[in-house]
Amino acid sequence: MTDLQKAKSLLKDDVTCALCKGERVYLTKERGVKPLLTWIYSGEDFSSFSAADKVVGKAAAFLYVLMKVDCVYANVISSPARQTLNAFGIKLEYGQEVPAIRNRANTGFCPMETAVWDVDEPHKAYEIIKQKTSV
């Protein structure tokens, strides 16, 4: 079983995101970009990991770029997130592509997606994401 297959297999029930590399496995039940920021802040080296995530918008895509993961699987991915991951050479699999991620109340677009919509540089996106969150 590949790391990506393992990560995908762990993405069930209330697990929202899984990172796998060999025997190293990280799971979260938190939603949004918060778990990705927490992992970045931890100082762990996530390069060459495989990630499986229920929803990947452009903000999360930039965080995966900064984490230097090898590949990402998303149940749902936004078109800008797909384009971002492709631009940075991260392998990608997904279930459904949508034009943009909706907010949790389904009344508009995700605030994180909107915040980085016109951004093309990962570190600039990271600064914007940090300013918009309280992680």
Per-residue pLDDT of 42-100, as tens digits, reads 999 999 999 999 999 999 999 999 999 999 999 999 999 999 999 999 999 999 999 99
CATH number, domain 3-132: 3.40.140.30
- Does residue 133 surpass a pLDDT of 90? no
Instruction: Name the amino acid, one letter, at 35.
Output: P
Residue 68 contacts residue 44 (beta carbons within 8 Å): no
Q: At a CB cut-off of 8 Å and minimum separation 6, what does 121 contact?
A: none
Nearest to residue 65, comparing CAs of 46, 44, 42?
46
Q: What is the CA radius of gyration of the chain?
A: 13
Q: What is the pLDDT of residue 66?
A: 97
Q: Confirm if 6 and 20 have CB atoms less than 8 A apart.
A: yes
